[in-house]
Amino acid sequence: MARVLSGIKPTGKLTLGNYIGALRRFKDYQEANETFIFIADLHALTLPIDPKELRENSIDIASFYLASGLDPHKTTIFLQSAVSEHAELNAILQNYLYMGELRRMTQFKDKASKMKDEAIGLGLFAYPVLMSSDILLYDSDIVPVGVDQSQHVELTRDLVRRFNARYGEILKMPKAEVPTTGAKIMSLSDPTKKMSKSDPKGDIFLKDPMSVVKKKIMSAVTDCGSEVTYDPVEKPGISNLLTIYASLEDIDVKEAAKVFVGYRYGDFKKAVAEKVVSVLEPFQQSYQEIKDGRLYEEALKEGAEHAKKIARKTLTKVQKAVGLLVL
């Protein structure tokens, strides 16, 4: 049985990009694998965040996990901060990733470029070390993520090679699994940019009212011409909408393009909006019920207990390997 691990950072409102690139795929792993899905709340502290907002976002993600079909009897769902082994492994592994490598990370460069040097926390710079710790603690084989996180998984692989070359076969080699369609959903207002939690313009949030979802899709930026064809370079707007449709319909994007041959842009957008609403509406209802009934609480408590057992084993193995005295 393979081990699968992934997580989402509770920094802002979850987007349709998070849903398509990651969240909706998690449940597909839980039948045939041992699956660990967590809330990366320590990662959320790497940029300034209001404490109340962080708590609310964490509850939202837990509720969205359950609403997406993750079954706590099959998948271990937990808060990163509730399993202290993440921070403990981080303290060891930070010595095996180097400044030059961390400085080259696209996510860091993007975020740091918008900030003054004095405002960039050490945690933001060292972010990939904690992410590697998350992955390696559970001997994960597969890490389902969107394209923007695959560089961090690659760095984790470098770390495993480096660490194992020095200490023997201690850490398990993980692999990122990126979806063939929908690995990078773009903004509806600027289809050359990624849809992201920190950029509210042109993003569809999972908590948006359906009327807003429809409006955002109907006013999505489109391209010259009038035919609905898949061409991310010449027609990034239309291609993004086709990708959203194809992902939610579970078909290939080329197949989706065939469905819309002869459609005008307006009718095409209407069909995409209907598709998105048909998925998000019941999802939102279920999320609300779970949240109101606090159904996430027990799942998170039990999940953390189980996660801790597995994580402790790996941590002890690593502590011994590097020469820490474990009594």
Which C-beta is closer to ligand TYM: that of 125 or that of 263?
125
What residue spans of 225-295 are helical by DSSP H?
Answer: 236-249, 253-259, 265-292
- CB contact at 8 A, 139 and 3: yes
Of 237, 257, 188, whose CA–CA distance to 217 is shortest?
188
Give the three-state DSSP class for 205. strand
**Single residue of 3, 4, 8, 85 touching ligand TYM by CB under 6 A:** 8
Residue 13 makes CB contacts below 8 A (sequence gap 6+) with: 57, 60, 197, 200, 205, 206, 207
174 is a site residue for ligand TYM (CB under 6 A): no
Catalytic residues: 111, 194, 197
Distance CA 19, CA 178 (A): 13
Instruction: State the minimum distance, in angstroms, from the CB of residue 17 to ligand TYM.
Output: 3
21 is a site residue for ligand TYM (CB under 6 A): yes
7 is a site residue for ligand TYM (CB under 6 A): yes
171 is a site residue for ligand TYM (CB under 6 A): no
Which C-beta is closer to ligand TYM: that of 134 or that of 208?
134
3 is a site residue for ligand TYM (CB under 6 A): no
Residue 292 makes CB contacts below 8 A (sequence gap 6+) with: none
- CB contact at 8 A, 21 and 185: yes
Distance CA 24, CA 26 (A): 6
Hey, which residues between 230 and 269 contact ligand TYM (CB under 6 A)? none
Of 204, 194, 149, whose CA–CA distance to 13 is shortest?
204
89 is a site residue for ligand TYM (CB under 6 A): no
9 is a site residue for ligand TYM (CB under 6 A): yes
Instruction: State the minimum distance, in angstroms, from the CB of residue 256 to ligand TYM.
Output: 17
- CB contact at 8 A, 154 and 143: no
> What does the DSSP assignment read for 45-96?
TTS---HHHHHHHHHHHHHHHHHTT--TTTEEEEEGGG-THHHHHHHHHTTS
81 is a site residue for ligand TYM (CB under 6 A): no
Which C-beta is closer to ligand TYM: that of 194 or that of 235?
194
146 is a site residue for ligand TYM (CB under 6 A): yes
**Single residue of 3, 4, 22, 108 touching ligand TYM by CB under 6 A:** 22
**Single residue of 47, 126, 135, 155 touching ligand TYM by CB under 6 A:** 135
Q: Where are the beta strands (DSSP E) in the chain?
A: 3-8, 34-39, 75-79, 142-144, 175-177
Which residue is closest to ligand TYM by CB? 21
Instruction: State the minimum distance, in angstroms, from the CB of residue 56 to ligand TYM.
Output: 15
Q: How many CB atoms lie within 10 A of CB 195?
A: 26
Tokens of 264: 């005008």
**Single residue of 145, 220, 273, 290 touching ligand TYM by CB under 6 A:** 145
Hey, which residues between 148 and 167 contact ligand TYM (CB under 6 A)? 148-149
Stretch that binds ligand TYM, among 181-189, 205-213, 259-267, 305-313 (CB under 6 A): 181-189
Site size toward ligand TYM (CB under 6 A) is 26
Integer distance in angstroms from the first to the last C-alpha of the chain?
Answer: 31
43 is a site residue for ligand TYM (CB under 6 A): yes
Contact residues for ligand TYM (CB under 6 A)?
5-9, 17-18, 20-22, 40, 43, 131, 134-135, 143, 145-146, 148-149, 183-185, 194-196
